[in-house]
Amino acid sequence: MNDIPPLISEINSKFISELTSFIRVRGLSYSTEKTYIHWIKRFIHYSGYQSRQDITSTDISRFLEHLVISKNVSPNTQKTALNALVFLCRELLKQNTEKLTFKRAKKGPKIPEVFSHQEAVKIIELVPSPFKLAVQLMYGSGLRINETLRLRITDIDLHTSSITIRNGKGNRDRKTLLPRSLHAPLRQQFKAVNILHDQDLSNGFGDVYMPYALAKKYPTQAKGYGWQYLFPASRLSIDPRSEKTMRHHLTDRAVQKQVMKAIKNANILKRAGCHTFRHSFATRLLENGTDLRNIQELLGHADIKTTQIYTHVAGLHHSGVISPLDK
């Protein structure tokens, strides 16, 4: 259950506890919380601070240059660290961060690796159930792996053939399309989840983790079928917050392991993984003439520039340029 936020009272450091509480009051996602705390801890360790009063925004530039010169990080990694440290100094400590000057990472953006449709289908056929359906949703709906695994039964709408992704990256909700070819496999998965849930209820269990806001709004729904995970774990586990025994979802590592094995068995030599299916989803839509704005909404990108990277992948095949060797 490593995607469940721990209680503030369980955090040993008084300062990190204060920082965590501040982040949650601001309504940032748990993934952002973990990322910010990671970089803030690295900044504190690098700078050798001994107390809260030692922390100063004037040291941010030195740390960011260290990341580039000594650690050779990418521009995105440096930007993430910058965002975390500006949040710390400007928002929490009320320090001035307007005049930061530092050496910026210069690596160019990477062109994402994508599967051809034939490669994607070949890999999917080699993935066993229930992991297969999860991979089909990543390719057919453009979901991130954790968005897929956190789906609840109630998030799937067969009537409108759509999926609701709740608290996605950036703590945003969105809708995306659901392939009609997956309706039948999803109905089978619904039945499997229902049977497992009934077994848990008969054994005195049946609760599922719900974020605090939902648990408060729907206090009796933790045992409801609609809130059960679409991809439940094979074993019960203990919620570290409530200490209740409940059934969580499959782990991302379990799915990644099956996908990497399938890629190897399919003799595909690309540097690829679960996220490659999301890249492939976007590329297929672009190749088929889908508007870039629509793709942005389906993927949940905050900035259209992030979506535009796929034009570099799909554009070459539709430019009409012919190699001189082929002439």
Token pair belonging to 103: 């050496």
Assess whether 278 carries a catalytic annotation. yes
Which of 169, 223, 241, 261 does the annotation list as catalytic? 169
Is 301 assigned a catalytic role? yes
Phi, psi of 162, rounded to the nearest 5 degrees? -140, 160
- The answer to whether residues 33 and 78 touch, using CB atoms and an 8 Å cutoff, is no
Catalytic residue among 41, 122, 261, 275: 275
- Beta-carbon-side half-sphere exposure of residue 67 (alpha carbons within 13 Å): 25
Distances in Å between the Cα of 37 and the Cα atoms of 13, 43, 123, 160, 263 are: 12, 10, 36, 40, 34
Identify the active-site residue in 66, 144, 150, 152.
Answer: 144
Establish whether 275 is a catalytic residue.
yes
Of 247, 248, 278, 279, the active-site residue reads 278
Catalytic residue IDs: 144, 169, 275, 278, 301, 310
